Amino acid sequence: MKIIILILLFFAICSTSFAQKNNLQPGGFYFGKAPVGSHVFFGDRPLQTTDDNRFLIGFDRDADLQQQLTLINEDNQETILSLELKPRSYKIERIAGISKKMMNPSAEDLIRIGQEATQVSKARQFVTSLPGVSERFIWPLKGRISGVYGSQRIFNGEPRRPHYGIDIAAPRGTPVIAPAGGIVRLAHSGMFFSGKTLVIDHGLGLSSSFLHLNKLLVTEGQQVQQGEKIALVGASGRVTGPHLDWRINWLEQRLDPALWVPLHQ
């Protein structure tokens, strides 16, 4: 027999902390622990768990503020867990001096852009039990934050897609380190918008992407440890100067990297 219990606060079941609550917002995530023997579903999607039953879900920039998880225990009893995200607003960023080629890509470039987007999304589709996701993330680079997650971007006066990464300015050639361990799923030598690009899979569908690099120091399939040098800062792709654009995804959902590391550097 199925018993459906509506629990308004997920915290009643899963142990939590202030840090967890703070992450319940668009661009945030919930890193929970399910009771032993139970299965967790996010919509129809069964969630992968680690050996100690941890699971992860992430919320996109414009995620619905009401989210729901379903837990099915060993006795096939179903529990619906509602998560309430706190609303969030985003900055407007104006950037001038973008070249015509980048503002209005040719038909040929548009085909290339589409193919590259497919390659990146494939690199973010791995759902593994890699332990990197459970590590305490560190900054991949220290420097001035020159762009934040979610901001609405206006290029040469035209509104464009929001920014999904965190931009950290640093001189060309500064080393970039892995914020957590994982496996390199993409090491691309030059994409139209993002230039030299890396994607690292940290486990449970969580991945980091590193854009605009000058040099890649790792190859696809390579396992990396937290703190290992993976690349050098560059200015490849659509940029106005050397910086690292660091992104975090949970599968196709784009998350705010700043929520994974302490705000002070």
Binding site for Zn ion (CB under 5 A): 147, 165, 167, 245
Taking the complex as a whole, the smallest distance from the CB of residue 61 to Zn ion amounts, in Å, to 14
Taking the complex as a whole, the smallest distance from the CB of residue 238 to Zn ion amounts, in Å, to 9
Which tokens hold the place of 159?
């509104």
Q: Give dist(CA 143, CA 128) in Å, integer.
A: 31
* DSSP label at residue 244: E
Taking the complex as a whole, the smallest distance from the CB of residue 147 to Zn ion amounts, in Å, to 5
201 or 245: CB nearest Zn ion = 245
180 or 244: CB nearest Zn ion = 244
Nearest to 166 by CA among 244, 84, 51: 244
Residue 258, classified by CB atoms within 10 Å of its CB into exposed (0-12), middle (13-18) or buried (19+), is: middle
∠ CA 4-6-7, rounded to 5°? 135
Taking the complex as a whole, the smallest distance from the CB of residue 165 to Zn ion amounts, in Å, to 5
Nearest to 265 by CA among 171, 168, 143: 143
205: left (phi over 0), alpha (psi -120 to 50) or beta: left
55 or 246: CB nearest Zn ion = 246
Nearest residue (beta carbon) to Zn ion:
245
Taking the complex as a whole, the smallest distance from the CB of residue 70 to Zn ion amounts, in Å, to 36
